[in-house]
Amino acid sequence: MSVKYTTVTCAIIEKEDKILIARRTADQKLAGKWEFPGGKVEAGESPEECLKRELEEEFGIQAEVGEFITSNKHHYEHISIELMAFDTTYISGYFIHNE
C-alpha cells in the first residue's frame, strides 16, 4: 500500500537572535504543540508561494523565502506529511497570530 503525503512547508525565521515558532491553538489537531510557521501547499502553488501566503495569512508578515534546507516525512494518526523547511527572511509587518 502506498502512503499519500500532504506537502507542508515551514519557515525558519531568525530575527534579533531569536527563531520564530508558534504554538497550536486548543481547537487545532495537536493542540498545544510548538511548530515552525507554515502550512499545506495548495493545488497549483509552489512550496515557496505557499510559505509566503501562510506567513501573511497566519501572522500578518511579509517574508522572502530563501534556500531550501531539508525535508522530512512524518506520520501522524490523522495525516502523513512531507515537511519542507526553508530559510526565510522577515521583511515587514507585525507578528500577529491570526488563527
Q: Which domains does the chain have, with CATH numbers?
A: 6-93 (3.90.79.10)
| Cell representation of residue 79 | 495525516
pLDDT of 99: 55
Nearest alpha carbon to residue 97 among 21, 42, 45, 32:
21
- What is the structure's pLDDT at 97? 64
Task: Tell me how far apart the alpha carbons of residues 20 and 12 are, in angstroms, rounded to a whole number.
Answer: 7
Average pLDDT, the chain: 91
Band of pLDDT at residue 98, cut at 50, 70 and 90:
low
